[in-house]
Amino acid sequence: GAVVSQHPSRVICKSGTSVKIECRSLDFQATTMFWYRQFPKQSLMLMATSNEGSKATYEQGVEKDKFLINHASLTLSTLTVTSAHPEDSSFYICSGGDAEETQYFGPGTRLLVL
Amino acid sequence: DAKTTQPTSMDCAEGRAANLPCNHSTISGNEYVYWYRQIHSQGPQYIIHGLKNNETNEMASLIITEDRKSSTLILPHATLRDTAVYYCIVRGGSEKLVFGKGTKLTVNP
């Protein structure tokens, strides 16, 4: 299957700082990527749909000014958590689709905000 | 909301077949059935998907009933590394994936 990478795999930051998470499709081009968040013992919750060359589409209840998404190329999407707070601590996962639209997921980024 | 219903948990003996059921009684004609699994602290892994015919790949088999209202994922020879949460997802075309709670499969030695 297609490969998606994320960087960093885990990050610890102080409250009030911003954190950038990168999502890359390594062997395919993704015009659309998706960003999810997963809290402990819960399922994945879709945050936003990232579209190459255009603005992201956010799910209801997700603050677009807090979670900035940039899809600069067909292989790279970034999620920036601005002014992070402890409640933003979570497991962030991205996914991208191949030509047949099957979605492949990255390994996830664990964010801890102190 | 997820369009599927799965048992919360299942157990399976190592080396035996694991059969994971999924109900999707409101599935539309153009919607596929996708299966993913998530091993603890990792991103979901794609397993298999199908529309109406049964499908098989190197990981698993997918059996879809004729009326398409339910399906079963079969892991023919479960190993300890197959312990994970398995998600059955109904999705049309390029729609976003909506995850339910999935089935926590525990493979016992």
Q: For residue range A79-111, what is the model confidence (pLDDT) as tens digits?
A: 999 999 999 999 999 999 866 678 999 999 999
**pLDDT at res. A82:** 97
Task: Report the amino acid identity of residue B6.
Answer: Q
How many other C-beta atoms lie within 10 A of the C-beta of residue B11? 11
* Whether the predicted pLDDT of B28 surpasses 70: yes
Q: Is residue B106 within 8 Å of residue B49, measured between CB atoms?
A: no
Locus of tokens 């062997």: A27
**Residue A54 confidence class, pLDDT cut points 50, 70, 90:** confident
Is pLDDT of B95 > 90?
A: no
Average pLDDT in the B75-85 region?
97
Instruction: Tell me if B46 sits within 8 A of A103, measured CB to CB.
Output: yes
Phi/psi of residue B54, nearest 5 degrees: -65, 145
CA separation for the pair B47, B88 (Å, rounded): 10
- The phi, psi pair for A8, rounded to 5°, reads -80, 170
Over 80: is that where the pLDDT of A7 sits?
yes
Residue A48 scores a pLDDT above 80: yes
Q: Per the CB < 8 Å rule, is A34 touching B96?
A: yes
C-alpha to C-alpha distance for B39 and A21, rounded to whole angstroms: 21
What letter represents residue B67's amino acid? D
What integer pLDDT is reported at residue B1 of this predicted model? 67
Task: Tell me the shortest Cα–Cα distance from A12 to chain B, in angstroms.
Answer: 16
Mean pLDDT on B56-78: 97
Q: What region does B38 belong to: left with phi over 0, alpha with psi -120 to 50, or beta?
A: beta
What is the predicted pLDDT for the residue at A99?
62
In DSSP terms, B105 is beta-bridged to B10, B84
Q: Mean pLDDT in chain B?
A: 94
Q: What is the pLDDT of residue A30?
A: 87
Beta pairing class for B31-38 and B84-92? antiparallel
| pLDDT computed for residue B41 by the predictor | 87
Nearest chain A alpha carbon to B33: A102
Q: Return the amino acid letter for B19.
A: N
Tell me which of B38, B40, B90 to substitute to probe the interface with A (most A C-beta atoms closer than 10 Å): B38
Select from B104, B107, B59, B60 the least CA-distant residue to B85.
B104
Is 90 exceeded by the pLDDT of residue B3? no
